[in-house]
Chains A and B, each alone.
Chain A
Amino acid sequence: MANGSGSAVASARAPARDPAWRGRVAWLVAGCVLLWPMFVLTEFRPWQMLDSRSLRVTARFLAGFMPPALGLEFLKQVAVETWRTVAIATAGISLALLLAVPLALLATAALSVSSLAGRMAAGPFVVRQAARALMVALRTVPELVWALVFVRVVGLGPTSGVLAIALTYGGMLGKVFAEILESCDAHPTRTLLANGSGRLQAFFYSLLPQAAPELTSYAIYRWECAIRSSVVLGFVGAGGLGQLMDGSLRMLRASEVSTILLVFIGLVALADGMSAWLRRSLR
């Protein structure tokens, strides 16, 4: 509003405080009031880990892990199983992407043509909600449970692990992809749709250029999670590093376990570096 040059307009006084402060303080107090009983109920007493008895037990436990087992035979085995784990995770994530991308495109409101001119029409709304519901159903069941089911169906081996990862991660990737697309700047997309282009055309020409770094880094993060999942799935017979670790733990060979863990940390660090490099180069 223009103010000044000695006109007859009365100048309004600046408001004394932010109108939103009451609500914010109320939420903060409510949050603290809710958190405190949770700490008490779960017997959250971390200082107990630092008394001398538990420190001694911890030290003895950790001593068994050093030095890590470096025998040639064992290292060859670890290499083969690492490759198998990475293969399970990669195959699982590839299938998950095949599932997630169409579901995300179906579910995202960013490509809605009916909401260009007002509220979304009923039909498209139902379709989008159905796609969301499917993704919820897929990711609700933990992959361990899926793997146990598939092991009964297809037997022990990597297939059950790949299928379990594909289903669960398909639901997760789809939901987050749909929300990433909705969080992009909608203006270029809406302009293209308002000028008569198709939905997929609008996706490739305006949503994808904006969302590419986010989509890629999330997909790589989930690939990293899939590696961790396939290690866990190895404990139920899906093969890979998990199965190897299961064996070493049963035979109480802590040094072998620490080798496997170090390889594992290396894998995750590799995934992290790849994600950072891809984000940089897509910028």
Chain B
Amino acid sequence: MTSDVRGLTLQLDQVSVRYAGTPSQTRAALQQVDLQIGSGEHVAIVGPSGAGKTTLLQVAACALRARDGRVLLDGEDPWALDARGRRRVRGRLFLAPQVPPLPPRQRVVTAVLAGRLPAMSLASSLRSLLVPSDIAGAYAALASFDLAERLFDRVDRLSGGERQRVSLARALLTPARLWLLDEPLSGLDPVRAARALQVMREQAQRRGATLVAAMHQVEMALETFPRVVGLRDGAVCLDSPASQVSPEALRRLYAHVPPAQQPDEVPAEPAAEPAPVAMLWR
């Protein structure tokens, strides 16, 4: 089926998300967000801390249910499907969370090959636990992140940045056609960060996958991605090609944030009280 090879389209219609248990006077995590991402597009989502970037990615990944509004993946609403259909939809997307989701005692080769689980039967995945099914594939994926020699090491022997790269390397083995990356560059030095972003974009392009990355590094996002979406206080306040984003728009995006929270590239604003926000980290 050609839609299996094409990247997924993502559409958010007036999506509002409020975490259960938040007091009513704090604002919702996402407020009437409208977003349209076409097949194979590469988009960066930027914004200050607490703007709702993680929430947006989780809603797109069907890992969080929106209180209002609709999420459409390739034109279908995953929450209108039964559990089996939703599992099928989840198998077509890949979410890389902020904290690398790697069990400490597992070996890197198994952790990377776990990306292929949605496409494997239970029997072959159990066999792969004993004898890794695709050592060459895992090796190639890790090699693009300069981690090939750590193939058989345990995850808890890796540094934070290395774990982050292993978590990204999983994407290269999934059958997914929508890649959602939450802070993919945390723990990486600038050289490695640039290289990792380049690898992810190349691989997504090769597979025709849609790539959505939420990141703090505004400068790198503008350099690397063709389209940038700015979130602030749970609402979209910027959505344009990277070349058309003005410094003025960026300043407005990050305004009223105390100096310590702003990225270096944006000129500082006088500090004021930030609005209270309830966040539940995953």
Contacts and interface: CB of A to CB of B under 8 A. Distances in A.
A208 B21 CA distance: 32
Interface string A108-135: 0000011011110000000000000000
A192 B114 contact: yes
B271 A194 contact: no
B15 interface: no
Contacts of B87: 113, 196, 198
B42 to A, nearest CB: 20
B91 A195 contact: yes
A192 B258 contact: no
Given A188-B103, A205-B117, A210-B105, A195 B97 contact: no
Interface stretch (B6-14, B33-41, B120-128, B134-142): B120-128
B63 A194 contact: yes
B95 A7 contact: no
B88 interface: yes
Contacts of A212: 105
A204 interface: yes
Contact of B125 (A5, A191, A204): A204
A117 B120 CA distance: 24
Contacts of A204: 125-126, 129
A192 to B, nearest CB: 6
A198 B124 CA distance: 13
Contact residues on A (Cβ < 8 Å of other chain), bracket: 20 to 34
A206 interface: yes
Given A117-B63, A188-B102, A197 B95 contact: no
Contacts of A116: 62-63
Interface in A171-201: 185, 187-188, 190-198, 200-201
A33 interface: no
Interface in B164-179: 174, 176
A187 B106 contact: no
A1 B50 CA distance: 13
Interface in B241-282: 258-261, 270-273, 282
A9 B258 contact: yes
B126 A117 contact: no
B271 A191 contact: no
A2 B102 contact: no
A249 B229 CA distance: 83
Given A194-B95, A201-B117, A2 B90 contact: no
B174 A195 contact: yes
A16 interface: no
Interface string B53-65: 0000000011111
Contact residues on B (Cβ < 8 Å of other chain), bracket: 35 or more
A193 B87 CA distance: 8
A113 B88 CA distance: 13
Contacts, number: 110
Contacts of B103: 185, 188, 205-206, 209-210
B158 to A, nearest CB: 14
Contact of A197 (B89, B105, B117, B272): B117
B88 A187 contact: no
Nearest to B117: A197
B216 interface: no
B259 A191 contact: no
A264 to B, nearest CB: 35
Q: Which of A116, A118, A119, A210 has the most CB of B within 10 A?
A: A116
Interface of A: 1-2, 5, 7-9, 113-114, 116-119, 185, 187-188, 190-198, 200-202, 204-206, 209-210, 212, 283
Closest 10 CB pairs of A and B: A196-B91, A2-B260, A191-B101, A197-B117, A196-B90, A196-B118, A2-B258, A7-B271, A188-B101, A209-B103
Interface of B: 20, 61-65, 83, 87-95, 97, 99, 101-106, 110, 114-115, 117-118, 120, 122, 125-126, 129, 174, 176, 258-261, 270-273, 282
7 contacts: A1-B258, A5-B259, A8-B272, A195-B117, A201-B125, A204-B125, A210-B103
Given A9-B271, A113-B83, A188-B103, 20 more contacts: A2-B258, A7-B258, A7-B259, A118-B65, A185-B103, A190-B101, A194-B62, A194-B90, A195-B93, A198-B117, A198-B122, A201-B120, A201-B122, A204-B126, A205-B110, A205-B114, A206-B106, A209-B104, A209-B105, A212-B105
